[in-house]
Amino acid sequence: MKKILLLVAVLTIGIGTAHAQQTGLDNAIRDAVGELSSGLRTNPSVAVVAMHSGSAAMSNYLIDEMNVAFFHTGGLRLTERVQLAGFNMHAAIDDATAQSIGRLLGVQYVVTGTLEPLAGFFRFRTRIIDAETGALRGIHTADVRNDTLVASLLGAGDPAAFLPPAAAWPPPAAVPQATVGQFTLGQRWATWALNGIPGLGSFIIMSDRFGGFFQVASGGLGYILYISSILFPIREPVMLWGQHMGMYNYRVNPVLLFGGLALIATQQIFNIVRSATFGRGGAVAVASMPSREWDIVLVSDENRIGGISLSHTLRF
C-alpha cells in the first residue's frame, strides 16, 4: 500500500512539474530569442524567415514578436518582414532552404520555427542557422500553454496545415519543353511559312521588327525587280543586211532579273536562318512565374536607423 501511495505521489509531482514548465507564448518567444542570440558573432545580421503554425495569424504573430525581441536584444542588425516572390513565410522549411534564403538576403543567420499541438499544450521549436556554412548554431524548445491568446491566434487554424517541410521555396525546377529560345518548333515553322509573304510571319508570330523589315525590304524589292524585268524588257530592232526591218525582238532585262533573284534569295536565306535562331538562343525551359512581387527588405542597423531595400528579379 505504501508503494502505491509513493508511486501516486511521484506521478503527481511529475505531472505538476510538467505543467509548471509550460509558459506563455510571449515568454517562450523572449526565451527563444535570448538563447538563440547568445554566442553569435559580433554585430551579426539576422533574419526571421519562416514560422510554421498552421494559422496565418499565429505565424504572423510569431514572426513579428520574434523581430521585436531580436530588436530589443541589441548588438545585432535585423532584417525583418522579408517578402520573396514564390516563398511562403508561414510554411515549414528545411535547413538547406533556410540557408539559401539567407545567402539571397545577404545575412549571416536565419531563424525558423514551428508551433505544433501536443496533448493539451503546444511545442514551440526555433532554430538559428549559419547562412554561410549551413550549420545549426542554436535550437530552443519550449512548451506553450493553450491559453486565450494562443486559442485566439489559432482560431482559424486547420490541423491539416501541420505538414512536413514543403518545397515552396525555391520555386520548383522548370520542366524542359521542346523549345529553342522562347519559341516552339511549331511557331518557327509557321514563321518560316508565313514569311513567303516577306516579313509577315516575323511580325505576327515573333514580333521581330528587324527581321520583318529586313525581309520586307529585301524580298519586296526583289519581287519588284523580278516583275519589272518581265514588264519592261529590252527592245532590240531586227536588222537585215544593216537595214532596220521595222520589227523588234524583246528579251528579259538581265540586270533587273538577276538583281531581283539575288534579293529574293537573300530574303529566303535570311528567313530560314532567322526563323530557326531568333530568340535568346539555346534550349530553355518554360516555367510559370507565380508572382511578380517586389522583394522588400526593411533593415535596422546598430544605430536603429531604418532602411528600405527594393529589388525585383525577372528570370527567363
Phi, then psi, of 44 in degrees rounded to 5: -75, 160
For residues 301 and 86, is the Cβ–Cβ distance under 8 A? no
- CA 256 remoteness from chain centre: 55
Percentage of the chain lying above the pLDDT 70 cut: 69
Longest dimension (CA), the chain: 152
pLDDT for the residue numbered 182:
67
Distance CA 213, CA 219 (A): 10
pLDDT tens digits, residue range 33-77?
Answer: 888 888 787 788 888 888 888 888 898 899 889 888 888 887 777
Compute the 3-state secondary structure of the chain and give helix, strand, coil in percent, each to the nearest 5.
Answer: 40, 25, 30
pTM attached to this predicted model: 0.47
Cell of 306: 531604418
Q: Give residues with Cβ within 8 angstroms of 223, minimum separation 6.
A: 198, 260, 264
pLDDT tens digits, residue range 137-193?
Answer: 899 999 999 999 998 988 754 444 444 444 444 444 444 444 445 688 888 898 899
Rounded (10°) CA dihedral 11, 29, 135, 83: 140
Cell of 262: 539575288
CATH of 20-172+290-311, one of 3.40.50.10610, 3.50.50.60, 2.40.50.140, 3.90.1170.50: 3.40.50.10610
pLDDT at 8 over 50: no
pLDDT for the residue numbered 106:
83
Domains of the chain, by residue range, sit at 20-172+290-311, 179-286
